[in-house]
């Protein structure tokens, strides 16, 4: 990216072109005060503190872009006067309850009040009674403390996509007009707006209808928005921050676990909350509220350990899931190499197969884009991912592209969703039939591929879907009309020709795209919309999700994805199905089926190792162990232990069985280099962000390239289309695994999620007959779902939902009311 040279307070900086002044300054450690601006979101201009002088003109640093040779002065006497007045206004009627406020000194209002030297107050207005409200099961809003900076509404709209909160009328008294003349201009304008507004749920009710991610509580500069569970339980300064990585989904977001002793009686450390670097990463509800899944044990259970060693000695297979660190995966792989056990992990296995088919076809060992790169594109597509449920960060990227890059999006998924269309005006949603994922990819090929690069048979096959039909349309035509006019003065008659618009019916031939029709949309309506969507678009990305890995034709789909990348400018990012599926897929040689005596690691088995506390030998949970994870951004990232663990860990068993190093993290340097890992010691891995937003966490996996021949893809297999009652294996939002389920602030239950209409038809409880097996579950209505397909959660390993679905994500079933 090209850079421009600017001067801030006389110092020269080379900054990114097209960057806002504020971001450029922050990236270079220059301080410009600002409350309302969020990096990665649109400027709101609510606080007006970031006023600076650029080339002699006052501008707002958050929405003015840098120009070559720009000279910026951060403080001028006039600006300082404005800023001080703004802070004085913010302090008007702000309750003096700093002593009990949950911000406990981490308050931006407090900081800027001191920074700008506000030591007296010159403004006043009668206060308005503002009630505190509980917006949802996790959100608490104290309107009295709110300074209406709109960071919460901005992040909810621009990043999260729920747009669940908005500014509402406060009903406060009007400002005294006298202030207009006596106080600085910007301060008056800001006060005028502040006095009128307050934050409220955007659906007009008392409660937010959102995914309960809690990002609004993270960005709140004051103590107005806090988590209900955390409120008044601890001061920020008492909490010890442990930088870690969220272990719920494959996004692997950077988080801080904040711990202190549980109470006066119980001096064991407890996690009080999870915080994040909200300028650079946004968490979901599971990451923020699903933190207390630790496995507390009293000490080393030697008997159970001896039994575990025996069990490992006679084990034929090990069944595990992907909530596991790279080091543990490497231990299991070492065990396989030394002792010949089978390694079974259904989610990683499917992903592994898909990934290897993709690499064979494309010649790239990994997919091209990470999700940060997706976020920088202006046209994003998603195939085979339930975007709202599978991976929150993929959804945030999809939404952010619409909001920030004036982007467009295509969303292909069989399960109807009414949230995705609200992300932007240029989002087209295809609710296609189950089994038509190939058609979706062919459509993308048709829309984006350079026809010159396509193999002849593919070109021909795509052309076979095109047909020409005639259509009558009404068109405006300018018609010449001649009129005779008499000139009043001379009495002469004159002929004047005029153009008059007229609607004419006209028959035109239009190209009908059979692929669009096959996917359930009107061809010409879509093609018209698509033409608009493509305006001024430069970069394209495709998100590929779990449905495709578990598809019957997964291999062909992987090739199609590779073909899309080869023949077009579209770049692909994949969502690994579970937390560390990518790491497991790269590290372990997985087997399809377990056989004989099976050890289950957080899964069912003859001998159970469990970090959930329900097994034969206890294991540390992810918040109690250190290690690395491989996330969907193709990064190997470290996580640290927030809580103490007194029992045995997997490495202890390894030390008995095979030649293992002393600590689990001693394995980090031996992760397979040929798969893209680096031989780096755990302790040298960083875990943070730099001021300019650079992700300084762990290291990026190396992608190796190899030469490959032509990609040979097969046609759409329409025999795979499912009809009838279909169940989809999909978790509710905020639920990913047994660990998120264990957390006390995650309330989403295990069950069958259905659109409200479908849920009503199904009743309270149903028995789902999968043929060989069946399951009885509660039916839960999900307002965001549409259509007839229902979603069965898979986060409880005890229910063995993977086995019910038998290597697929969709099943035709029969359902009976119970």
Partner 1 sequence: MGLEQFKNRNVGTQNYKMLDLGETPTSGMDKFKQVVQRTFKVELFIGLWVTLREMINALLRGQMHTVKYPFEKLPISPRYRAIHDMLRLLESGHYRCIGCGLCEKICISNCITMNTRYDENQRKEVSEYTINFGRCIFCGYCAEVCPELAIVHGPRYETASEQRASFSLFEDMLTPIDQLNLQKEYDGFGAVTPNADDNIKQTPLAY
List of residues contacting partner 1 (CB under 8 A): 99-100, 104, 119-127, 132, 228, 231-235, 237-238, 261, 263-264
* Cβ proximity to partner 1, 176 vs 337, nearer residue: 176
Shortest separation between residue 646's beta carbon and partner 1, angstroms: 23
DSSP class of 160: I
Chain-centre distance for alpha carbon 589: 29
CA 714/CA 504 separation, integer angstroms: 45
Task: Give the number of other CB atoms < 10 A from CB of residue 117.
Answer: 11
* Cβ proximity to partner 1, 114 vs 508, nearer residue: 114
Shortest separation between residue 235's beta carbon and partner 1, angstroms: 4
* Cβ proximity to partner 1, 144 vs 424, nearer residue: 144
Shortest separation between residue 171's beta carbon and partner 1, angstroms: 16
Q: What 3-state class would DSSP assign to 333?
A: helix
CA 317/CA 369 separation, integer angstroms: 35
CA 622/CA 650 separation, integer angstroms: 13
List C-alpha distances in Å: 621 to 109, 581, 684.
38, 17, 23
Torsion angle of C-alpha atoms 776, 781, 784, 788, degrees rounded to 10: 60
Task: Give the number of other CB atoms < 10 A from CB of residue 459.
Answer: 17
* Cβ proximity to partner 1, 2 vs 120, nearer residue: 120
Shortest separation between residue 132's beta carbon and partner 1, angstroms: 6
CA 408/CA 406 separation, integer angstroms: 7
Measure the CA angle with vertex 329, ends 326 and 330; round to 5°: 85
279 in Cβ contact with 693 (< 8 Å): yes
CA 38/CA 539 separation, integer angstroms: 24
* Cβ proximity to partner 1, 178 vs 204, nearer residue: 178
The tokens of 122 are what? 């010159």
Question: Which 3-state string (H, E, C) describes 80-92?
Answer: HHHHHHHHHHHHC
The residues, ordered by sequence, that sit 6+ positions from 197 with a Cβ below 8 Å of its Cβ are 148, 167, 168, 169, 170
* Cβ proximity to partner 1, 120 vs 484, nearer residue: 120
Render the burial of 633-651: b for 16+ CB within 10 Å, e for the rest.
Answer: bbbbbbbbbbbebebbbbb
Shortest separation between residue 518's beta carbon and partner 1, angstroms: 55
Shortest separation between residue 412's beta carbon and partner 1, angstroms: 45
* Cβ proximity to partner 1, 238 vs 522, nearer residue: 238
Q: What 3-state class would DSSP assign to 447?
A: helix
Shortest separation between residue 128's beta carbon and partner 1, angstroms: 11
Shortest separation between residue 104's beta carbon and partner 1, angstroms: 7
Please provide residue 320's backbone torsions phi and psi, each rounded to the nearest 5 degrees. -145, 170
Shortest separation between residue 234's beta carbon and partner 1, angstroms: 8
The tokens of 213 are what? 């991610």
Place of tokens 């992990």: 345
Shortest separation between residue 294's beta carbon and partner 1, angstroms: 20
* Cβ proximity to partner 1, 228 vs 675, nearer residue: 228
Handedness of CA 9, 14, 20, 25 (dihedral sign): negative
Shortest separation between residue 233's beta carbon and partner 1, angstroms: 6
* Cβ proximity to partner 1, 104 vs 368, nearer residue: 104
CA 646/CA 425 separation, integer angstroms: 54
346 in Cβ contact with 602 (< 8 Å): no
331 in Cβ contact with 650 (< 8 Å): yes
Shortest separation between residue 124's beta carbon and partner 1, angstroms: 4
* Cβ proximity to partner 1, 91 vs 524, nearer residue: 91
* Cβ proximity to partner 1, 67 vs 133, nearer residue: 133
* Cβ proximity to partner 1, 240 vs 655, nearer residue: 240
Pairing of strands 790-792, 752-754: antiparallel
């Amino acid at each position: 990216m090209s850079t421009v040279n600017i001067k801030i307070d006389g110092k020269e900086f080379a900054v990114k072109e097209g960057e806002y002044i504020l971001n450029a300054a922050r990236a270079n450690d220059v301080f410009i005060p600002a409350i309302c601006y969020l990096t990665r979101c649109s400027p709101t201009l609510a606080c007006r503190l970031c006023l600076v002088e650029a080339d002699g003109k006052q501008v707002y640093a958050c929405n003015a872009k840098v120009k070559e040779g720009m000279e910026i002065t951060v403080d001028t006497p006039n600006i300082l006067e404005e800023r001080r007045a703004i802070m004085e206004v913010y302090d008007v009627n702000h309750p003096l309850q700093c002593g009990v406020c949950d911000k406990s000194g981490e308050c931006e209002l407090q900081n800027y009040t001191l920074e700008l030297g506000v030591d007296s107050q010159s403004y006043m207005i009668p206060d308005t009674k503002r009630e505190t409200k509980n917006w949802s099961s996790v959100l608490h809003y104290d309107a009295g403390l709110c300074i209406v900076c709109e960071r919460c509404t901005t992040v909810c709209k621009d990043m999260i996509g729920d747009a669940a909160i908005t500014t509402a009328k406060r009903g406060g008294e009007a400002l005294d007009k006298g202030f207009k003349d006596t106080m600085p201009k910007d301060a008056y304008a800001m006060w005028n707006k502040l006095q009128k507004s307050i934050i409220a749920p955007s659906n007009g009710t008392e409660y937010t209808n959102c995914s309960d991610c809690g990002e609004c509580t993270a960005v709140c500069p004051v103590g107005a928005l806090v988590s209900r569970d955390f409120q008044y339980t601890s001061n920020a300064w008492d909490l010890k921050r442990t930088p870690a990585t969220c272990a719920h989904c494959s996004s692997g977001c950077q988080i801080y676990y904040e711990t202190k002793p549980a109470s006066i009686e119980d001096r064991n450390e407890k996690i009080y909350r999870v915080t994040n670097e909200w300028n650079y990463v946004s968490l979901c509800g599971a990451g923020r509220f699903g933190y207390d899944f630790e496995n507390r044990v009293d000490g080393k259970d030697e008997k159970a350990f001896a039994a575990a060693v025996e069990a490992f000695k006679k084990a034929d297979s090990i069944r595990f899931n992907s909530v596991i660190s790279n080091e543990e995966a490497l231990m299991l792989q070492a065990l396989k190499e030394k002792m010949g056990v089978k390694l079974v992990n259904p989610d990683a296995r499917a992903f592994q197969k898909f990934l290897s088919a993709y690499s064979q076809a494309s010649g790239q060992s990994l997919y091209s884009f990470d999700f940060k790169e997706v976020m920088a594109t202006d046209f994003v597509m998603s195939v085979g991912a339930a975007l709202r449920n599978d991976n929150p960060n993929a959804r945030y990227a999809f939404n952010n592209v619409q909001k920030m890059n004036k982007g467009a999006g295509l969303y292909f998924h069989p399960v109807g969703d009414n949230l995705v269309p609200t992300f932007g005006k240029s989002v087209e949603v295809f609710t296609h039939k189950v089994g038509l994922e190939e058609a979706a990819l062919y459509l993308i090929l048709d829309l984006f591929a350079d026809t010159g690069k396509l193999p002849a048979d593919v070109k021909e096959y795509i052309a076979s879907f095109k047909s020409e039909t005639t259509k009558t349309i009404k068109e405006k035509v300018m018609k010449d009309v001649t009129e005779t006019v008499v000139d009043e003065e001379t009495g002469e008659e004159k002929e004047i020709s005029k153009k008059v618009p007229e609607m004419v019916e006209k028959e035109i031939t239009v190209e009908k795209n059979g692929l669009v029709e096959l996917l359930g949309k009107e061809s010409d309506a879509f093609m018209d919309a698509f033409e608009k969507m493509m305006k001024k678009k430069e970069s394209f990305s495709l998100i590929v999700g779990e449905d495709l890995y578990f598809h019957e034709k997964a291999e062909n789909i992987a090739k199609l994805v590779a073909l899309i990348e080869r023949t077009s400018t579209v770049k692909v990012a994949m969502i690994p199905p579970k937390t560390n599926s990518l790491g497991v897929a790269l590290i372990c040689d997985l087997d399809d089926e377990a056989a004989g005596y099976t050890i289950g690691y957080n899964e069912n088995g003859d001998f159970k190792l469990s970090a959930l506390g329900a097994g034969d030998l206890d294991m540390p949970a992810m918040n109690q162990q250190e290690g690395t994870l491989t996330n969907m951004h193709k990064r190997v990232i470290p996580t640290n232990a927030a809580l103490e663990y007194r029992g045995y860990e997997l490495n202890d068993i390894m030390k008995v069985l095979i030649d293992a190093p002393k600590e689990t993290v001693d394995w980090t340097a031996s992760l397979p280099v040929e798969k893209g890992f680096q031989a780096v010691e755990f302790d040298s891995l960083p875990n943070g962000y730099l001021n300019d937003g650079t992700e300084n966490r762990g290291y990026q996996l190396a992608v190796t390239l190899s030469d490959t021949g032509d990609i040979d893809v097969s046609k759409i297999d329409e025999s795979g289309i499912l009809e009838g009652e279909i169940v989809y294996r999909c978790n509710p939002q905020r639920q990913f695994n047994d660990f998120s389920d264990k957390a006390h602030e995650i309330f989403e239950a295990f069950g069958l999620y259905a659109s409200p209409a479908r849920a009503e038809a199904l009743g309270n409880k149903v028995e789902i007959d999968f043929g060989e097996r069946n399951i009885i579950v509660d039916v839960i209505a999900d307002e965001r779902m549409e259509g007839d397909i229902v979603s069965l959660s898979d986060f409880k390993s005890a229910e063995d939902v993977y086995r019910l679905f038998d290597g697929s994500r969709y099943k035709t079933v029969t359902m009976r009311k119970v």
